[in-house]
Structure formats: C-alpha cells, structure tokens
Amino acid sequence: MSDNERLRELIVAGHPLVWINTAEEADALHLVRDCALELSATLWKWSINSGVCDGLLADARPVEKTEHPAAALYWLTTQINPCMAVMLDLPPHLRDDRTQRLLRDLIEHFQRIGGRLLLIDYADQLPPAINAQAVRFELSLPDAEELEEILRSSLRAINEKRRIQVDLGRQDVEVIVQNLRGLNRRQVGRIIADAVAEDRRFDINDLNVIISGKRKSLEGGGLLEHVEAPVSLDEIGGMRRLKRWLKDREKATSKSALEFGLQPPRGILMLGVQGAGKSLAAKAVATAWRWPLLRMDVGRMYDRYIGESENRLRESLRQAQRMAPVILWIDEIEKGFASAASQSTDGGVSRRMFGEMLTWMQEHKEPVFIIATANDIEALPPELLRKGRFDEIFFVDLPVLEARGQIFSVHLRKRQRDPARFDVAKLAEASQGFSGAEIEQAIISALHTAFAAGAELSTEGILQELKNSPPLSVTMAERMAALRQWSQGRCVPADE
C-alpha cells in the first residue's frame, strides 16, 4: 500500500492518536492534508509559532491565544464535531505535567466524538503514558519508479535555472537510481544538485559523488567503516574462478535480471591462507560492481552492558540496509563469533549475536552483498558453513606460478616500474609458497635496500629478499596442509 492508503486506513480504523516520527515535516503535512481532503474531514493544524488554524487553507487566520500547547490542546477539547488535528513538534512540550494531562484528556475526547489527532515530530521519544496510546506511522522511502521521477524532475528544475548537460543511457539511469535507494526525497534532490554544481554536467561519472553524498547522509553514529575501494579486479593476480563468478553476477540486481527470474546474490565466504588476497578481493568487488564498501569490525560490537552488544549489531545491519545496494565486508568473521561455536564465558552474548546475524542473513531483502573473510576455519561455528548462508564458499590458496607472475607485475607497476625490465618468470619461480602479501613485501624490502645503496631496483635484489625471508607456508607448513585438506570437497577453489 502507498503511504496515503496506509494513513487513511489508520484514520478510518478509529485510532485517536497517530504519531508520525520524521524530520521530513513537509512530506508528512502534505500526506495528512491529502488524507483529510479524501475523507472530507475538517483539519486543524497547530504549531507554536502560529497556534491553531485551518489546516487546509494556505492563508488561514489563527485562533487567538492558542500558541501555547496547553491552550491549543484545551481549545481542541471544545470541538464537538468529528475532525482531524495535526500538531507539529509537540513531544518536547510534554515534559510539562499540565500539557501532558491535557493531551491525555484530548485523546479521550477524540475517542468519544470520532476525532483523530496526528503528531509530527523529529524526536524519537514519547512519554510512556502517551506512547501506550499512539500508533506509530513511518513515511516510506521512494521506490525505484519515484526515484527516477525525482531524478528527472530535479535535473529539469536545475536546467531551468541554468543550463546543464545531461548524458545518461538507460542502464546508467538504473545504476544511479539503484544507488539512490534508502534516501528520502529531500536527500535525493540535494545530492543531485551537489553532483551538478561544479561542472554543470550530470552523467555516470557522478556516481562517486552520489555514493559519497549518500554515505554522509546516512552514516550518523553507525559502527560500519566506509572503505575507499579504488582497486580493480585486474590488480588481483589469479583467482580466475572467483573473478568469473563475480562477473557473471555483476548485473544480477538490475531490473532486467529480476524480470528474468533471478534473485540478488547474497554473499560469499572466503577462507584461506593469510595474505592471499581475500581482503583485496572485497575491495575489488566494490569497484567492479560500483557499490559502496562498508567494513564491519565485529569485535567493536561487544559492550560490557547487557543487551548493548546486540543493539550495536542490529544498528549496524540497519545502517547497511539503508545504504543498499552495498558490499558489507565482515573481515575475519571468526574473531567475532568464535565463542558461539563452543561453551562461551560471555553469558551467551556471542551466541545471541551470532543468532541475530544468521537470522538477518536469511531474511533481509535489500541488496546487501556480504563478503566474509576468515583465516581460521576451526573457529567458525558450523551453522555459518551450512549451504544457503552464502551463495558460495571459496578457498583462497597460495598463488600458483602464473598468478605469482601477475602479482609481481601488478606491484611493480604500482611503484612506477616497468615489469618488462624484470625477469618476472624467474621471480615467479623463486617465490614458490609465497602469498601475494609476502610478494609485495619482498618488493618493498628490495626497494628500501636499493634506495639505501643508491642503486635501482633489480631482479637480483628482489630475489635476494625472497631468500632472506621464508614464507608463512614454510613456518606454518603443518597448519596450511591441514587447511588445504579440510577445503577439499567443502569449498570452491578461487583459482583454477
């Protein structure tokens, strides 16, 4: 149902007090006026500046001496015919006992005569005695169709004031509309105006401005960290199967995909060796899909006060839903929920939070794609690995020979070195058993040595660093062998 239909249903059902908790006062007032007109009802409007006046007339004269909330409430109790009344910013005045008493009297009076009282306020709290009698009503956010209309009308309005250039294809519009989801009408208009302001142009290149504006509008006091993700999939060596899987699902949240019968992908779990590129892949997916990337540090969710840890987790998940479409990166997930796999000593907090997380993963409808990474498979609760929690579970092993060559080339280019001037094949051969992170560190160490000696970086210098620092696969050979053995038949190899 539309907001108009939902509000009209509450009014017709006979609820004497409806509380519209929102900062979008203009939208809420417009909705109340439309409802009163459709029901042919008398509408009174009160604010502390103007007092009580006719809510359907733009230039209505106020009722004298009704500016004070107590006076306005008393005046409304003198009405003998059914009516609707909307009061703006009343809850802060209810700290006064007399005003609160008058409001309770008015609610009883409206129940008798068939009146309906609506409160519009941004504050998220009512006195308990009033809250018990109120029906809460939330304004819905614009859907894709309305977002597209707001986009077009905003651009037309800006163009009327000063000429702008708009260059958008049908697919570009869909991507932009998708990234405007979760915003209210005012926020959408403001972000579009910001995107156009500097260059008087609007095209798909403004997507980063839109994502940044959306993040600033919604982040509030959330516990999710926004991560800049300039990495592309081309900057990751190997992981060919994972890359292909992600590319096949890049447009799976589009309108055409939904019409085709596809459901948006829910997420992947990446297990494997430390430094093999799991976290880098999370950043690259966000860039490839042009979605914002939010990182959840599960360890930060825990609080010493009873119930606060669960509240923090719920708020973080709500924040992710408001930012949708979004990549939610849960790094080292085993550290947050390890105690849920055993008899915990935290009073059951870990198990409750883990249960909350599993329920949300199963039931959320918004396009939030989860990328969870883990290094210690034994610490993960078995329920997390059950089929259906994630679309796929990938095992990220140490890079093979070809992938190691790609990794060397990527990191040399990042440091303004031409890979063609190095014996990349020899370096790849010599780095057997090294992770991507260890290869990068070898190049960095060789750079330091070369700079200190006043020389240029060379193949021989990198080879020497590889010899000087044994990889983790040597120092923790038994653990890695056990990890590989566990992954057989349980995970999909990220590389081929």
Q: Is the same domain home to 328 and 344? A: yes
Contact 192, 202 (CB under 8 A): yes
Domain assignment present for residue 429? The answer is yes
Last residue of a domain, one of 191, 218, 245: 218
Give the domain CATH number at 405: 1.10.8.60
Contact 412, 419 (CB under 8 A): yes
pLDDT of res. 307: 54
Q: Which of 249, 385, 411 is nearest to 327 (CA)?
A: 249
Match 């609007």 to its residue by tokens. Answer: 202
Last residue of a domain, one of 372, 396, 420: 396
pTM of the model: 0.64
Q: Is the same domain home to 240 and 382? A: yes
pLDDT of res. 484: 81
Mean pLDDT in runs of 10 for the chain (496 residues)?
A: 91 94 91 95 95 91 94 96 96 93 96 96 86 91 89 93 91 88 87 90 89 75 69 77 87 82 87 79 81 78 59 79 84 70 57 82 86 79 76 88 91 93 95 90 95 95 92 80 81 84
Q: Is the same domain home to 316 and 294? A: yes
Q: Is the same domain home to 253 and 337? A: yes
Domain assignment present for residue 358? The answer is yes
pLDDT of res. 220: 53
Domain assignment present for residue 487? The answer is no
Q: Is the same domain home to 380 and 232? A: yes
Domain assignment present for residue 482? The answer is no
Last residue of a domain, one of 396, 415, 447: 396
pLDDT of res. 341: 52
Sheet of 43-47, strands arranged across: 51-54, 43-47, 84-88, 116-121, 17-21, 135-137
Q: Is the same domain home to 260 and 342? A: yes
Q: What is the residue range of 98's domain?
A: 3-137
Q: Is the same domain home to 210 and 245? A: no
DSSP for 8-42, written as a single string: HHHHHHT-SEEEEE-S-HHHHHHHHHHHHHHTT--
pLDDT of res. 223: 65
Q: Is the same domain home to 376 and 246? A: yes
Q: Is the same domain home to 60 and 208? A: no
Domain assignment present for residue 87? The answer is yes
Number of domains in the chain: 4
For 304, list phi and psi in degrees, rounded to 5: -75, -20
C-alpha 468/C-alpha 413 separation (Å) is: 23
C-alpha 233/C-alpha 211 separation (Å) is: 20
Domain assignment present for residue 490? The answer is no
Q: What is the pLDDT of residues 396-429, one digit of tens each?
A: 888 889 989 999 999 999 999 999 999 999 999 9
Domain assignment present for residue 53? The answer is yes
Helical spans, DSSP H, in 78-163 = 97-113, 128-131, 144-161
Give the domain CATH number at 182: 1.10.8
pLDDT of res. 362: 83
Q: Which of 26, 31, 142, 55 is nearest to 18 (CA)?
A: 31
Q: Is the same domain home to 30 and 45? A: yes
Backbone φ/ψ region at 272: left (φ over 0), alpha (ψ -120 to 50), beta: left
Domain assignment present for residue 489? The answer is no
Q: Is the same domain home to 207 and 235? A: no
Q: Is the same domain home to 236 and 383? A: yes
